[in-house]
Amino acid sequence: MQYVWFIWSLIILALWGVVYLLKKDSRKEMLRMSWITMPFGLTEPLFVPEYWHPPSLFDLAIKTGFDIESIIFSFAIGGIGTVLYNLIFKRRYVKIPHTERNHYRHRLHLYILFVPAVVFLILALFTPMNHIYCGILAMFLGGMATLYCRPDLKTKIWISGFLFTALYFVYFGSILPFYPDYVTLFWNLENLSDILVAGIPIEELLFAFTFGMYWSGLYEHLYWRKLINPIVLNQNF
């Protein structure tokens, strides 16, 4: 099982590549958000071994808490989470006019961007909660804060939570038929709820849902973009 996590990370990276090829008009957005997400892979020591302790390349996770796989995984989910809704519902980005940016809801624009980080730090430092729950709550509240500032993203944020969860369910489940004991061996279920959904820890699905919620609207919030339906020109000959 030494290379399962590495293969798993390559699978999600391959999926990123498929989405990148299909969503030609959002490649710049995918790359931007993937580069932003990738450094979060360096937070793995917060979760290893408290949350899980997977075998990794060169045994880096066990020896240092860091691993190459988490960086690959973080890069991939950042781009996918940003454009998954747009890919399915055929939306594209346009800039928000400066006149709209002066709306009273945007007066907290900059502060709201930091909500997840602040929530995570408070929970991690001042509560005994497992860090995975800190992350889940931080992203959920980040999504709620985004909805206050950007109510136009309400549909995308909620639907993206379910879309990414469904995708993640299939992704996670893809490895279980080949390694059915992987979860029981490498997740610290005694420190968690010990609730499994089709063999998947519910914490993983909650992570997927809240990540899908928060990350789906971050590009629009960060770069002042909104979604529109693509214009289809009917040509009569």
Reported as a single tens digit per residue, the pLDDT across 112-153 is 889 999 999 999 999 999 999 999 999 999 999 999 988 989
- Residue the block writes with tokens 């809704």: 85
For residue 213, give the 3-state DSSP assignment.
helix
Question: What local confidence, expressed as pLDDT, does residue 24 receive?
Answer: 87
233 within some domain: no
189 within some domain: yes
- What span, in angstroms and rounded, lies between the C-alpha atoms of 17 and 29? 14
pLDDT band per the 50, 70, 90 thresholds, residue 237: very low
181 within some domain: yes
234 within some domain: no
222 within some domain: yes
234 has a pLDDT exceeding 60 = no
CB–CB of 28/38 below 8 Å?
Answer: no
* CA count, 13 A, side-chain hemisphere, 122: 9
Q: Which domain holds residue 135?
A: 4-228
CB–CB of 7/68 below 8 Å?
Answer: no
- What span, in angstroms and rounded, lies between the C-alpha atoms of 141 and 115? 7
- What span, in angstroms and rounded, lies between the C-alpha atoms of 78 and 135? 15
Report the Cα 192 to chain-centroid distance in Å: 20
237 within some domain: no
Question: H or E element: which one contains 193?
Answer: none
- What span, in angstroms and rounded, lies between the C-alpha atoms of 163 and 112? 24
156 within some domain: yes
- How many independent structural domains does the chain possess? 1
236 within some domain: no
